[in-house]
Amino acid sequence: MEEILRVEGISKTFTLSKKQQKIEHTHSSHKVAVDNLSLTAYRGEIFGLLGPNGAGKTTTLRMLATLIKPDQGNAWVDGCSIVSQAEQVRSKIGFLTSELKLEDFFTPNYLYNFFSDLHGVDPATAAARKKTLFQRFGIDKFAEVKVANLSTGMKQKVSIVISLVHNPDIIIFDEPTNGLDVLTARTVTDFLQVLKDEGKSIILSTHIFSLVERLCDRVGIIIDGKLTHCDTLEAVCQGKNLEDRFFEIYKELKGDQE
Amino acid sequence: MKNNVGTIIRKEFARFFGDRSLVFTSVIMPGLLIYVIYTLMGSFLGDKVQEKIAKDEQQKTEFISPLTADEEHLLDSLQEVRSTAYNEYEANLGTSDEDELGHLLGNLIPMLIIMLLFSGSMAVAPTAIAGEKERGTIATLLVTPMKRSELALGKIISLSCFALLSGLSSFLGIILSLPKMLNIGAEEADQLNLALPYQTSHFALIFLLIVSTVLIIISAISIFSAWAKDVKSAGTMITPLMLFIMLAALTPMIGSPSSPLLYLIPVYNSAQCMASVFSFKVELLPLIITISANIIYTIGAVIALAKMFNSEKIMFSK
C-alpha cells in the first residue's frame, strides 16, 4: 500500500486563560491537547479517528491542515511537511471542519469560483467540476442563493463542495455529518464512499460508530491526546462491535477516574 | 502571487459594492450628510447675515446725508493715501492675498482630509478583518494554498480604495456645499475658484499624499483589527490610534517641522506636506521623505499583517 500521510510524534499544548481554566475545572495553565501522536494513512483508504469530546481529534486534524503548528514532531502529506511546506500541503488537501465558515453574503456559485481561483484551477476544469459536484449535492437549484438564506444542510453541502474545488487526493473531514438531518447525512456519507472509489484518501473524525464500521478501512482511537489504538477495524474490534470495544478501551484507560 | 492578490481584491470589491447598505453608509451617506448639514447651516446663518447687512445699510443711509462735491473729492484723496500706505505695508511684510489664503487653507484642509480618510478607513477596515475573524470566514481562506502576504496585500489595497472613495464622498460634500455655506451664488463661487491659484501639479501632489496617507491609515487599522477578537474590540483598540491621528492632523496649525527627520513620523508628515502644498511652500526633500516613508511603512505593515495571519495565537485565540 502506498503511504499518503505519515504522522510522527506530533504534540500540541495550549495555554489556558483564567476563564478557560474555570471552564475546564483545572488549576493548570496548560493543556496537552495532543501527546506524541503517530499514525500512517494509505492511498485510497478511509481512516477513521474516534474519540470523546476534547480528546484531541480536531487539534490533530487542524495540525494536519496546517492551521496550527505542532510543538513537536512532524507530519508529511504526500511527501510534504506540514511544518516547512505548509502551502504545498494546503494545495494537496481538502479540509472541512465546523470552524470553517462561508461568507453569508455570497452565493455558492460565486464562492466556488472564488476558491477555484485561489487553488489555481483553470476555469474550464473548474466549471466542469462545479457542474458535477453541484448536481450530485443538489446545489444547482440554489447556486445563486446567498449562503445566508440556505438551510443548515445545504450550507454543509456547499462547504463540502468548496473543500473539494481543487480535486485533492487527501481529504480531511472533521465531523462532516454534525447537525445534519438523516437524509443530508446519508448524502454526505454516500459521497465519502464515492470519493474512496475514486481513489481518494480520507481522514474522518466522527463520533458515529456505525459510520466508522460502514466506511472505514482502518481506525485510530484517541483518548486524552494519545493515540491508544491504530489498526484495521477488525484488529481493533477483536470480534466485538466497535461501540462496545471503544467503551472497553476507554474504561481500561480511564479506570476509576470516570 | 499577482493572481491571488487580484482574486482577493475582486472578492472584496464584490462584497463591498454588492452590499447596498454598506455602500450607502460608507460612501454615499458621509458626503450627503455633510452637504445637507453645511447647506442648512449656510442657509440659516446666511439669512441672518443678510438681514444684519440690510439693516446696517439702511441705518447708514438714514444717518449719512448726501455728500457735497468737495466732501466727495476729499474722501477720494483720503482713500488714495490709505490705499498707497497699505500696499507699501504689505510689500514690506512680504505677504499677499495668495499667501494668506494659502496659509489659511494649509491649516484647515490637511486636517479635514486626514480626518475624512480616517473615518472612511474606520467604516471598512475593522469589518473586513476583525469581522472575518469573528464570523470564522478567515479560517476558510487560511486553508487555501494562498500566501498570507497575498491575503494581506489584497486586503490593504482593496480597503484603501474603499477608504479613498469614502473620503472622496466627504470631500465632494464639502466642496459642493461650500458656496451654500458661505451663502454665495454661482457667479461668486466661480470667482472664488478662480481666486485659488492652485495648478494641476498641486493637485497631483495632494493626490499622491492622500494615497500614501490612506495606505498608512488602512495598514494601521488593519493590524489593530487583525489583533482584535471582533469588530467591537477592534473599535476600542483603535481609539489611541484615532487620538494620535487627530493630533498629527492638527499640527500644521502649530508650525512646520524643524528637522527633516520629523517627516519620518507617519500622518504627521502627510499633514505637514499637505499644508506646504496648500500654502505654496512645497519643498522636494520633505515630500520625498514623506511618500517614501509611508510606502516603506505600508510594506512593513503588509509583512506584519501576513505574519499575524500566520499566527495561530492571533487568528484562533478565543
CATH assignment of the domain containing A199: 3.40.50.300
Residue A185, domain member (yes or no): yes
* B11 in contact with chain A, both atoms CB, cutoff 8 A: yes
Q: Hey, what amino acid is at A29? A: S
| Closest alpha carbon to B161 in B12, B2, B271 | B12
Same domain for B243 and B105: yes
CA distance A30 to chain B (A): 14
Structural domain of A75: 3-100+168-257
CA distance B146 to chain A (A): 6
Same domain for B75 and B214: no
Question: Which stretches of chain A are DSSP H helices?
Answer: 18-23, 57-64, 86-92, 108-118, 123-137, 152-163, 182-197, 209-215, 233-237, 242-254
Supply the pLDDT for residue A45: 94
Express as a percent the part of chain B with pLDDT over 90. Answer: 43
Contact by Cβ (8 Å): A133, A211: no
Q: Which one of B14, B140, B145 has the shortest CB-CB distance to A100?
A: B140
- Tens digits of residue pLDDT in B5-31: 999 999 999 999 998 888 998 888 888
- Tens digits of residue pLDDT in B270-284: 999 999 988 888 889
Tell me which DSSP letter residue A170 carries: E
Residue A50, domain member (yes or no): yes
- Tens digits of residue pLDDT in B123-178: 889 999 999 999 889 989 999 999 999 999 999 999 999 988 988 888 788 778 76
- Tens digits of residue pLDDT in A204-247: 998 888 889 989 999 999 999 999 999 998 898 888 888 999 99
Residues in CB range of A86: below 8 A, 6 or more apart: A66
Same domain for B81 and B179: no
Residue A32, domain member (yes or no): yes
Supply the pLDDT for residue B2: 54
**If you measure CA to CA, which chain B residue comes closest to A96?**
B140
Task: Count Cα neighbours of A228 within 13 Å in the Cβ-side half-sphere.
Answer: 21
Structural domain of B68: 64-94
Q: What are the CA-CA distances from residue B21 to residues A5, A193, B24, B26, B260 (Å)?
A: 47, 44, 5, 8, 44
Of B94, B113, B146, at which residue does a domain stop? B94
Residue A129, domain member (yes or no): no
Give the three cell numbers for residue A220: 485510530
| Closest alpha carbon to A204 in A170, A169, A234 | A170
- Does B145 sit within 8 Å of A91, measured CB to CB? yes
Residue B133, domain member (yes or no): yes
Residue B181, domain member (yes or no): yes
**If you measure CA to CA, which chain A residue comes closest to B11?**
A114
CB atoms within 10 A of CB B111: 19
pLDDT confidence bin for A184, thresholds 50/70/90? confident
Same domain for B104 and B242: yes
- Tens digits of residue pLDDT in B185-205: 556 556 555 556 677 888 888
H/E segment holding residue B100? helix B97-135
CA distance A102 to chain B (A): 6
Same domain for B126 and B85: no
Q: How many domains does chain B have?
A: 2
- Does B143 sit within 8 Å of A67, measured CB to CB? yes
Same domain for B121 and B10: yes
- Does A105 sit within 8 Å of B137, measured CB to CB? no
Same domain for B202 and B70: no
Q: How many domains does chain A have?
A: 1
Q: Hey, what amino acid is at B96? A: S
What value of ipTM does the predicted structure carry?
Answer: 0.87
Instruction: Say whether pLDDT at B98 is over 80.
Output: no
pLDDT confidence bin for A134, thresholds 50/70/90? very high
Residue B274, domain member (yes or no): yes
Residue A66, domain member (yes or no): yes
Same domain for B188 and B151: yes
Give the three cell numbers for residue B3: 493572481
| Closest alpha carbon to A100 in B150, B310, B132 | B132
Burial (0-12, 13-18, 19+ Cβ within 10 Å), B53: exposed
CA distance A256 to chain B (A): 32
Contact by Cβ (8 Å): B203, B171: no
- Tens digits of residue pLDDT in B226-239: 999 999 999 999 99
Instruction: Say whether pLDDT at B219 is over 90.
Output: yes
Buried b (16+ CB within 10 A) or exposed e, B232-250: ebbbebbeebeeebeebbb
How big is the A-B interface in CB pairs under 8 Å? 60
| Closest alpha carbon to B316 in A103, A66, A49, A23 | A66
Residue B59, domain member (yes or no): no
- The DSSP bridge partners found for residue A11 are A72
Give the three cell numbers for residue B124: 471598512
Average pLDDT along chain B: 85
C-alpha A102: how far from its chain's center? 17
Q: Hey, what amino acid is at B39? A: T
- Does A106 sit within 8 Å of B143, measured CB to CB? no
CB atoms within 10 A of CB B73: 11
Express as a percent the part of chain A with pLDDT over 90. Answer: 67
Same domain for B79 and B159: no
Q: What is the secondary structure of B115-175 as a DSSP string? A: HHHHHHHHHHHHHHHHHHHHHTHHHHHHTSS--HHHHHHHHHHHHHHHHHHHHHHHHHHHH
- Tens digits of residue pLDDT in A12-42: 998 888 887 888 778 888 889 999 999 999 9
Same domain for B129 and B82: no
| Closest alpha carbon to B173 in B44, B27, B30 | B30
Residue A235, domain member (yes or no): yes
Q: CA-CA-CA-CA torsion for B27, B31, B37, B42, nearest 10 degrees?
A: 180
